[in-house]
Structure 1
Amino acid sequence: MITISLALFTLSVGVFSYYLWTWTYWKRRGISGPMGYPVFGSTLDLFDSENPPPAQLEKWTKQYGKVYGMTQGLSKTLVISNPALVQEVMVNQYDNFYGRNLNPIQGNPNQEKRVHLFAAQGHRWKRLRTISSPTFSNNSLRKLKTTVEDSCVELLRHMEEQTSGGKPIELLNFYQEFTLDVIGRIALGQTDSQMFKNPMLPYVRAVFGEPRKALFMSGFLVPWLSPILRKIMFSFPSILKNPAVHIIRQTAEAVEKRIAQRMADEKVGIEPGEPQDFIDLFLDAKSDDVDIQSNEEFSKTEKVTKQLTTDEVVGQCFVFLVGGFDTTALSLSFSSYLLATHPDVQKRLQEEVDRECQDPEITFDQLSKLKYMECVIKETLRLYPLAALANARRCMRATTLGGLEIEKGVDIVCDTWTIHKDPKIWGTDAEDFKPERWESGDDHILSKGSFISFGIGPRQCIGMRLAYMEEKLLLCHILRKYTLKTCKETQIPMKLVGVRTTQPETVWMSLEPREDN
């Protein structure tokens, strides 16, 4: 008994010492940063929805400088807000930083059968990216434009009903209905609008809601337990409730239904035509014998096998559903708030829309002529960068960054908020909403790692063009018919909340019908 007790005591001391050794990792290397608490590190500070993580990183940058270190359990993170270092990590040294800094609870990206484009790495990521890229080409977006516009018209119908008598509406809710409707129709085979009656909405909202802190922190604190927790989470969803499990199951059902339909068509001699949605696109690249055990290493020169397993088809549809829902809805919300609080900008934008989009239906080519709208959207994304924590990478090979030795396994996180409001980059008016700053072109900015709302480099957000098209189309339809106005319910300034993404607590707005339209 004494021997067992002594062994347990020795083991406990050893484990605790290992956590303390990790906790002091950056201090031992002479790099400053928030220490947080023993074992936990800074984890608790980054799970407070009332103080979103990007805001906390910005505070720490002001305190510790443009390069500092922190720990989250056994995870070691270097935070950077120097654009040159951002360029180095995401572009110049991409071969050394091609992985994501995933929480272990999300699964092993090299072995997970349903791995998706956001989590994948190595040549598996390259294969998924190559297969998915045609979905977001200009040619594909032209075909999707009519579907997106149909959802725009449907949303305006609901807006008109809800704003009768001058009643204000909560725009974030409306925009979430819109983005889910669009992604459901272009990705998951939804045949008609499900706006304001979509059973999937509560689950997708919950993905970006308050996280189950104990579950997600366990990934940082005891990563070796993550596979067990993940198995329980998917096998017994009622025990560890996770909305993502429900969404994945619904997505899998949609994919299986389409496979069965295609097989039935094949039996009667009906050949598949043009892909109708993302499911068709990915099924056309389907294969059941792709090796998923050798995906870790990466080389830019590797040839790509354009095949997907059925599980990977489910994974891609899932990530495009979730990714296409929240970020575009938030961008629309922030844009609407800034337009309502800057009526001179809104008036100029309405004049451009009236001039370039005179017909009831807005064409794809007309969208490309909305130069000032592009400035408005980019300036909104500069002030309120979405999914800022996605601008992070994992060091896959030991290297040097800015004179610092970076070990394999260390995470690099870009402090996007600080970069986007740095007076040395944007001028003394960096805190101001000034769309005109983009009128001279943005190539000189983008090439320096100073504007990273969609990331930069090979892993730049694949859905960027679709997001721009959705936002332009909907804003065109709204601004042709209404002027956005603040009301007594409008939060000025906005209160920002959230952990996974940073969003306004509310976006109450009045929609005043335009007299000239």
Structure 2
Amino acid sequence: MIALIVAIATSVVATIVYFVFDSQYWERRGIPQVPGKLILGVSQQLLKKSEPRILVLKEWTKKYGRTYGFKEGAKNVLVTSDPELIYEVFVKQFDNFYGRRPNIIGPNPDKDLQVNLFESRGPRWKRLRALSVPTFSVSSLKKIRQFVEGSAISMVDIMEKRHGDGAPFNIHPFFCEFTMDAISKLVLGQKETTLFENPRIRVVQGIFLRDFDHPIVHTAVAFPFLAPTIRSILLRLDTAISKDNRQFRADIIATVQNRILEREAFPEIVGHARDMLDMFLDASVESEEIESHDGFKLTEAKTTKTLSVDEVVMQVVIFILAGFDTTSNALAYTVWMLANNPEFMKKCQEEIDECCQEDSISYEDLNKLKYIEATCKETLRLEPFGSISNSRTCMNTTTVGGIDIEKGTWIEVDAYTLHVDKEIWGDDAEEFRPERWLEPGFHVPQHVYGAFGGGPRICIGQRLALMEEKLVLAHLLRKWTIVKANPEQKELRVHGAIIVTPIEVPVRIVPRD
């Protein structure tokens, strides 16, 4: 009996000693460390919808410096806004950092069948990306412009009918409706405009606005070996964390299956892609072996041009999710910036008047809207709301900037701090000034502008996003001037555990003089 008690006591002490030792991981390496709780680390501070993760990192940077670390449950996380270190991770040592930071309750990117382009890594990522790149070529964008413009014009028409009287309203839902309508046409071949009639919007918004500050999530963070079991349970239960995700995935699976049946009934349509789903199905096979990424090197990796049906489903899922939330938020922030800076809005309107003479705005005319594009980029510089994607997993133990990085360590970029670094952007770094992007000789390296990520994994859809933004802004501002509903309001209230999303963007639209 005494021996058993001694054994239990020894085990308890050993466990406590281990967690205490592990909790000081970065301190032992001479790196500033955010203090956290034993076992959980700082996870309870980073998973709240009410306090977006990337804004918390911004505040910690002020306290701990350009590069610091913390424990997020069992994981070692290094956060940086150091341009040289970022270049090393995202570009120079890409072969050691080719995986994103995984979702702790997401699929296993190396073993699960249903993994998308965003989550995948190694040869599988390279294969999925190679298959997706043609969708976003200039020739493809020219073909789909008309469908995007149709959604933009319908959105502006509805906005005029509902709010053309100058009364205050929240403009953000209109941009959500637009992006869902446009991406549904491009990915799923939706024929008609379904603004304010598409049930997918509520479901997708629920996915992005989940609150991960939940005991079951913290358990998965603290004990990663339990994550697969927890994920399996969540996928079977209608919890606040998983309900919308389950519903959306079931919807897409049914859509893909129906399209497969249609192609079997009408084989003549195979090979003549009408949308992204057709394109992916044209490349699909009965099954696709999941490539091993051991020893992955970007320049040496060989890829096939095939997808499994599971991968088709997940490609559709990620393109709808990414195409919906990012562009709608970008438009919301841009309009808010312009409402706060009417002199810049007037310059945008003057450019539209000069470059867009016809009712329909061609792809060539869109390319002439340099000031509007600069405005969009400047907004994303000051509001890099999706920069949670600027993360990497260390795939091979290495040294970066004199810091030893162990395999499995997560690297995150504090883009909010990086984007107002005066050494990069100048003394007016914190000011909204679109002209900086048009000044002769102005150039910033790709890796210090994190709005679309950086390195080989830079966002594949950035050209589509900018095309959508410019089309909406051109059609909106050629008719209306946007004014803040409350002249005294300076900042937007935001939330979101994944993306920093405005809770409301209160404005008025008034006819142009």
Same fold (TM over 0.5): yes
Mapped to 2, the partners of 1:258 and 1:323 lie a distance apart of 22
Mapped to 2, the partners of 1:273 and 1:74 lie a distance apart of 47
Q: Cα deviation per residue 1:1-38 (whole Å; 9 max; x = unaligned)?
A: 87777666555544444333321111111111211222
Give the match for residue 246 of structure 2.
245
Q: Give the conservation status (yes or no) of the 8 Å contact 1:188–1:251.
A: no
Mapped to 1, the partners of 2:5 and 2:142 lie a distance apart of 69
Q: Give the conservation status (yes or no) of the 8 Å contact 1:113–1:311.
A: yes
Mapped to 2, the partners of 1:4 and 1:310 lie a distance apart of 54
Q: Which residue of 450, 464, 470 corresponds with 1:472?
A: 470
Give the match for residue 310 of structure 1.
309
Q: Cα deviation per residue 1:448-482 (whole Å; 9 max; x = unaligned)?
A: x2211101111001110110010000000000110
Q: Give the conservation status (yes or no) of the 8 Å contact 2:220–2:227.
A: yes
Q: Give the conservation status (yes or no) of the 8 Å contact 2:212–2:497.
A: no
Q: Which SS does the other structure have where 2:257 is aligned?
A: helix
Q: Give the conservation status (yes or no) of the 8 Å contact 2:287–2:309.
A: no
Cα deviation for residue 504 of structure 1 reads 2.0
Cα deviation for residue 186 of structure 1 reads 0.8
Q: Does 1:202 align with 2:187?
A: no
Cα deviation for residue 163 of structure 1 reads 0.6
Once the two structures are superposed, the pairs formed by residues 121-200 of structure 1 within 5 Å of their partners are 121-200=121-200
Mapped to 2, the partners of 1:187 and 1:368 lie a distance apart of 24
Q: Which SS does the other structure have where 1:51 is aligned?
A: coil
Q: Cα deviation per residue 1:176-227 (whole Å; 9 max; x = unaligned)?
A: 1111111111112322122111111111111111424224323311211111
Q: Give the conservation status (yes or no) of the 8 Å contact 1:496–1:504.
A: yes
Q: Give the conservation status (yes or no) of the 8 Å contact 2:107–2:114.
A: no
Give the match for residue 401 of structure 2.
402
Give the match for residue 415 of structure 1.
414
Q: Give the conservation status (yes or no) of the 8 Å contact 1:189–1:254.
A: no
Cα deviation for residue 496 of structure 1 reads 2.8
Q: Which SS does the other structure have where 1:501 is aligned?
A: coil
Q: Cα deviation per residue 1:138-167 (whole Å; 9 max; x = unaligned)?
A: 111111101100100110121011114222
Compared with structure 1, are the counterparts of its residues 148 and 52 closer, same or farther at alpha carbon in structure 2 (3 Å cutoff)? same
Q: Which SS does the other structure have where 1:77 is aligned?
A: strand
Give the match for residue 56 of structure 1.
56
Mapped to 2, the partners of 1:221 and 1:496 lie a distance apart of 28
Q: Does 1:372 align with 2:385?
A: no
Identity of aligned residues (%): 39
Cα deviation for residue 440 of structure 1 reads 2.6
Mapped to 2, the partners of 1:14 and 1:242 lie a distance apart of 40
Cα deviation for residue 111 of structure 1 reads 0.8
Once the two structures are superposed, the pairs formed by residues 189-338 of structure 1 within 5 Å of their partners are 189-214=189-214, 215-237=216-238, 241-266=242-267, 270-272=268-270, 274-292=272-290, 294-300=292-298, 301-338=300-337
Compared with structure 1, are the counterparts of its residues 9 and 203 closer, same or farther at alpha carbon in structure 2 (3 Å cutoff)? farther
Give the match for residue 505 of structure 2.
507
Q: Cα deviation per residue 1:90-143 (whole Å; 9 max; x = unaligned)?
A: 011000000111133112101111100111001000000100111111111111
Q: Give the conservation status (yes or no) of the 8 Å contact 2:48–2:211.
A: no
User: Alpha carbon RMSD of aligned pairs, Å?
Assistant: 1.9
Q: Give the conservation status (yes or no) of the 8 Å contact 2:168–2:506.
A: yes
Mapped to 1, the partners of 2:212 and 2:58 lie a distance apart of 24
Q: Which SS does the other structure have where 1:444 is aligned?
A: coil
The TM-score, its normalising length taken from structure 2, stands at 0.95
Compared with structure 1, are the counterparts of its residues 368 and 397 closer, same or farther at alpha carbon in structure 2 (3 Å cutoff)? same
More off after superposition, 13-22 vs 172-181: 13-22
Mapped to 2, the partners of 1:57 and 1:178 lie a distance apart of 31
Compared with structure 1, are the counterparts of its residues 232 and 148 closer, same or farther at alpha carbon in structure 2 (3 Å cutoff)? same
Compared with structure 1, are the counterparts of its residues 6 and 111 closer, same or farther at alpha carbon in structure 2 (3 Å cutoff)? farther
Q: Does 1:459 align with 2:488?
A: no
Compared with structure 1, are the counterparts of its residues 279 and 245 closer, same or farther at alpha carbon in structure 2 (3 Å cutoff)? same
The TM-score, its normalising length taken from structure 1, stands at 0.95
